[in-house]
Structure 1
Amino acid sequence: MQTGQPSRTAMSAARYRAAHQLLESGEIFTDPLAVRILGVPEEQLLADAPRRAMRLFIAARTRFAEDALAAAVERGIRRLVVLGAGLDTFGYRNPYAHLSVTEVDHPDTQRWKRERLAAAGIEVPPSLTYLGLDFERESLGERLTLDEPAFFLWLGVVPYLTSASCLETLRFVAGWAGNEVVFDYAQSPERMAPQRRAQLEARASRVARLGEPWLTYFEPPEIAAALGGLGFREITDLGPSGLAARYFGRPDVPPETPGGHVLHAVR
């Protein structure tokens, strides 16, 4: 991202979440604050109808993450850390009385978010705190203090970091037994069919021009091995096939289909 400006890809993800509320009536993931916090006229969001595949992926990854969080709260988790929070709204509609929320993001993006919250009339609850952090230049482990197991929500961030930064963050999460993390990652476009590869490479070029290039891709066996080496033992990794079967009623997508993944791991 460009210094002094909020993340453009965070804005894009928020737009997809908001458009899903209007175009699919929040069928996969319901967020009553998504349209309000974004502050974009509804007719503009309705014009996003052609971008259905990415919109539904973002809705599905958020649904997957919040379902995993709900299960973690049932197991006793009392702290949520949202890494690269962008315009994520969970902390402002948090239904769990004993769950505290820490949003970690670049200070420029956090300032923009606070402005959007104020403009939308969305209150910051006492259960929520902010931590400004540049993931590429600062260490999460040096800035965030844990005194009990936590759930880490880390969506829409990994592809924009170096692999070293990604693994450093995962190593920190793995440092406390009982910690959990949900994050998404992308397989290399080189594994895609020609039309899909062209679409992803075009998107990668667009975000690179915005100053937020894709830097890191993982393959499922690679990330599974890395997580296992860090001490994670319970791993659920849904790629295009798993997401299609669980959320879109599509059991016909071949298991080997490459694409975007969302993963839940427990230390």
Structure 2
Amino acid sequence: MKQGLRGEGLLRQGVASRSALSVAMLRAAHQLIDQPLVFDDPLALAVLGPEHAETVRSTPEKFDTGIMRVLRAAMAVRSRFAEDELAAALERGVRQYVVLGAGLDSYAYRDPAPGLSVFEVDHPATQRWKRGLLEQARVAAPASLKYVPVDFERDDLADKLTAAGCKLDEPVFFSWLGVTLYLTNDAVFDTLAFVAGLPSGSGIVFDYGVVPELLNPMERMGMAYFAKKYEAEGEPWISFFAPEVLACELRALGFGDVSDHGADQLRARYLASRNDGLQLGGGTRLMRAHVK
């Protein structure tokens, strides 16, 4: 079972993902601009490394324009949602957490839950870059963290996780954020089928792009702008889904508890009663699926 994660064109050249940096800078800007915080990440600036952290600190206004405000909200909400669902998995007794396409995610370095093993899966180029930034920031990797470098053209994810110490005969919780847009449908469903085949209690949270026909004209314009931008940077957007169809396909794979969360639900859960203009766009979708 071989999968890609993101930006294969860039990663084949050994270049770290630009989208991973953009996302991390938005998470960091959220820590400086928004009160109260939706997603409290005390390491959000540190994981950027000194140079990028200073960019966010010195010019936060760059991340507070109209469309950047919407993106900033989306990054904060999806990270909070994933970690809320992880907390629920921990309550169910899950003790293994896999971050697929980890980028500059900082959960493993923020005093993770006792007894939890964390596996960060990403392309070797991105992991080398991240570890270099962490070294510059003097952020140490805890013993509970295992890096799982995967060359997605050659490596098998299950084999790599097993080699890193992940026990695939026990429940595993996965987060998979900011990735599915960059994959073919086959690659997306290969990964989902793999998770669906794991023991009962396993689960996954992921975000995905909504088919443009379901967006309003302004949302379609925003999607087209960023799709063109990332394609020019070697990270084209490939896959989009209709929420109801995707939920049905997940159930067909064997997931029992499937829950799709659109912008309205997420606003009510995380952004209610705010008066600072922090809002989600209609294209924000998060899916949660548990193995029966």
Q: Which of the five TM-score ranges fits, normalised by the shorter chain?
A: over 0.9
Q: Deviations over 1:122-150 (max 9, x none)?
A: 00000001111144554323322223111
Residue identity opposite 1:243 in structure 2: L
Shift of 1:73: 0.4
In structure 2, the partner of 1:5 is 15
Question: In 1, distance between residues paired with 2:226 and 2:22?
Answer: 12
What is the distance in 1 between the residues matched to 2:154 and 2:181? 16
**Given that residues 219 and 283 in structure 2 are in contact (C-alpha distance below 8 angstroms), is that contact kept between their aligned partners in structure 1?**
no
Match of 1:254 in 2: none
Q: Hey, what does 1:253 align to over in structure 2? A: none
State the 1:258 CA deviation. 4.8
Instruction: Give the letter aligned to residue 185 of structure 2.
Output: S
Distance 1:219 1:52, change over 3 A: same
RMSD: 1.7
Is residue 2:63 matched to residue 1:48? yes
Runs of 4+ in 1 over 4 A off after TM superposition: none
Question: 1:191: how far off?
Answer: 2.6
Where in structure 2 are the equivalents of 1:129-208 lying within 5 Å?
A: 129-135=146-152, 138-145=155-162, 146-177=168-199, 178-208=201-231
Q: Shift in Å at residue 25 of structure 1? A: 4.1
Shift of 1:220: 0.8
Counterpart among 71, 74, 80 of residue 91 in structure 2: 74
> Which consecutive residues of structure 1, in runs of 5 or more, have no partner in the other structure?
251-256
Identity %: 47
1:90 is aligned to 107
**Is the 1:5–1:109 contact (alpha carbons within 8 Å) kept by the matching residues of 2?**
yes
Choose the corresponding residue for 1:237, options 260, 264, 279: 260
TM-score, normalised with respect to structure 1: 0.93
Q: Which deviates more from structure 2 when the two are superposed, residues 107-116 or residues 89-98? A: 89-98
Normalised by the length of structure 2, the TM-score is: 0.86
Displacement of 1:85: 0.1
- The one-letter code sitting in structure 2 at the alignment partner of 1:192 is L
Structure-1 residue corresponding to 2:38: 28
> Which region of structure 1 is more displaced relative to structure 2, 37-46 or 94-103?
37-46
Corresponding residue for residue 14 of structure 1: 24
Structure 2 vs 1, CA of residues 59 and 247 (structure 1 numbering), >3 Å: closer, same or farther? same
Question: Number of residue pairs matched?
Answer: 262
Q: Go from structure 1 to structure 2 and tell me whether the alpha carbon gap of 1:25 and 1:122 turns closer, same or farther (over 3 Å shift).
A: farther
Is the Cα contact below 8 Å between 2:169 and 2:198 reproduced in 1? no
Does the Cα contact within 8 Å between 1:37 and 1:120 map onto a contact in 2?
Answer: yes
Native 8 Å contact 1:236 1:263 kept in 2: yes
Structure 2 runs not aligned, ≥5 long: 1-6, 163-167, 274-280
Q: Please give the alpha-carbon distance, in whole angstroms, between the structure 2 residues aligned to 1:139 and 1:156.
A: 21
SS at match of 1:236: strand
Contact 1:29/1:60, CA 8 A, preserved across alignment: yes
Query: Distance in 2 between the 1:127 and 1:45 partners?
Result: 33
Point out which structure has higher relative CO (alpha carbons under 8 A, 6+ apart).
Answer: 2
Matched letter for residue 22 of structure 2: S
- Report the Cα offset of residue 260 of structure 1: 2.0
Instruction: Measure how far apart 1:183 and its partner are.
Output: 0.4
Higher mean alpha-carbon deviation, 84-93 vs 219-228, is at 219-228
Task: Say whether 1:260 aligns with 2:284.
Answer: yes
